[in-house]
Chains A and B, each alone.
Chain A
Amino acid sequence: MYKYLSSIKLTLLLTYIIVAVTMTGSFALLFHRENFDTIDKQLLIDWLAKNSPALSWWIILLISLIFIFAINTVLCTYERLAVLVKAWRGKRVDVVHDEATRISEDIEKGRGLRLRAFLPYIAHIGFLIALIGHLAGSLWGFRGADVPVEKGEVYKIKEAPGLSIKVGNVVMEIGERGYPEEMWANVELFEGEKILKKSKVEINGPLVYKSMAIYIKNVQSYTKGMVISSKGKGHASSFLLTPGGDTYLGTEGLTVTAGRINERYGAMEVLLFKNMKLVARQWLTPYNPSYKTLSYEGLTLSAEELSLSEAAVLSINSDPGAKIVFWGLLIFAVSLLTHLFYRRSK
């Protein structure tokens, strides 16, 4: 059993079963696209818990197969490294004849062992490290949703209690052909009052702090409010009206309040109260003369201009396994490439 678990025959069998299962799964994904849309927006363990096994069977099977594959890799690597280390120390080793390897042939023919012989197994170790990292990232951490954070605003990261971010300048520049040429925001990461890290967050340049990374996905211009001018009843004034804020006109108990905003038409619903009783309600926009004014008993409210603000749409993720994966893949790739270029002793 141990011999079979550590054999290359099992490696090959598992490899092609994994390939077949993944191929099948890729078509399952194609036919159930709407169910798989959320898989990348949360931890894999959470997605599996929320979705029926009828849909996720192939992922569960894949995980199981890769688990066995990892055991095979560990045992296979250990077996061969043990032989190599023995040979390196000049001790007599038994060569495995049913799985003839170049290293075994080297030992049989009395050639000295060099680093090259170890490189494929260092690559295997790199692969195993990457798998461990991927497991960690699938079980722990979080994948945050996209959140718009306005310049100057402090956003508390709900997935990471105690941590918050503050956005400084937000920049988006559109080129001549209508495509974004530049997009970034200054972001500070806080724990309480203490700044943990601050940096310019741009595409391909997230703010990375330990296992957390903050990305900029988009820059949104949105309507913060509307500048309204008020004339009549013996007074004239101009003020910024924003949702959630009342403006008292200072006459006859009149108060103006903002309702809903329609970003598409650049319009805002304006409500006029007299002594706390709603007396007029209208959508106003500075862009359409037919909807520019609201009149009530000699008072005229006019939409002068929109007050726009920019918000950085940020995404905050935490993947405790990501760095482990990258180290593992780096070890794998470097070992593989070194093995290719390293000359064999003649």
Chain B
Amino acid sequence: MQNAANVLSYGAFFLYISAFIAALFDATKKRESTPLFRLILFPALLLHLSGLLLRTYYVGHAPMANLYETLLFFSFCVALSTLVYGLRYPVRMIELISLPVASVLLFLAIRADHKFTPLFLALKTIWFEVHVMASFAGYALFTISFSAAFFFLFYMNKNLKEGKIYEEMVNSANVWGFSFFSVAMFSGAIWAYLAWGNYWFWEPKTIWSFILWFYFAGIVHGHYLKNWRGKRVAWMTIFGFVVVIFTYVGVGLLMKSSHNL
């Protein structure tokens, strides 16, 4: 069963790479034609989702309990967000950053330890699924805003219309990402209270989650200030992605935390 999931993951990975190459080609084409990368991305997502579902069936729970599973899920969220924003907005550049990010995450997942360990009792609750899914949805949306911010800065002085669209994408992805991450913080607080006796712990992962949440709260508010809107928000968003990656993997690798990845 796990072998089948691996095959599907490899299939998705190669399709993501193909979609990225197609996106490079699409970037030179006229806007009216259907982007080739979407035609490849959609089946890639189906393969990826199938791999996730197989893993769910194999382990008997939502696949988010270890590094392999969270990488698998995170990469799926990034790719899915790329498709959604690609359909929603009439520009086609953010996938040039978000697809490589999704591919790298999926590659790391494939290389990670796939060993199945039973779920600890504390993880056997709906709050686990809600908290982790909302966290990674937030992370994925911050990845999209990071991609859009990069292109906003690139187009800012070259093409006002495209620059405005990317600015709107940055704001939209930040607001949605902040909202999902707020749900993650809320559900995490309830789960911690029910499982461990306190809704807040002074330990690295909880502290860095608070840092990330507060950081993006600032960015969401910054959009409402004239001299913050645009360039400053874009740079803050780009740095915010560093905070996302540090919160996800840096804390687990560099700091001793009782909080699983």
Interface residues of A (CB under 8 A from B): 8-9, 11-12, 15-16, 18-19, 22-23, 25-26, 29-30, 33, 36, 39-40, 98-102, 134, 143, 175, 177, 179-183, 202-206, 213, 215, 315, 317, 319, 322, 325-326, 329-330, 332-333, 336-337, 340
Contacts and interface: CB of A to CB of B under 8 A. Distances in A.
A161 B42 CA distance: 63
Contacts of B179: 336-337, 340
Contacts of A340: 175-176, 179
Interface string B198-229: 11111110011011001101100110111010
B122 interface: yes
Given A143-B197, A204-B124, A206-B194, A33 B256 contact: yes
Nearest to B210: A22
A332 B210 contact: no
Contact of A330 (B124, B186, B196, B204): B186
B217 A333 contact: no
B118 A177 contact: yes
A116 to B, nearest CB: 13
Contacts of B203: 29, 40
B189 A40 contact: no
13 contacts: A8-B224, A12-B218, A15-B214, A16-B218, A22-B211, A26-B204, A26-B255, A99-B226, A204-B121, A213-B197, A215-B196, A215-B197, A319-B199
A25 B207 contact: yes
B183 interface: yes
B197 A315 contact: yes
A29 B190 CA distance: 24
A29 B207 contact: yes
Contacts of B122: 203-204
A101 B224 contact: yes
Interface string B162-199: 00000000000001101100110110011101111111
B84 to A, nearest CB: 14
B195 A203 contact: yes
Contacts of B215: 15-16, 19
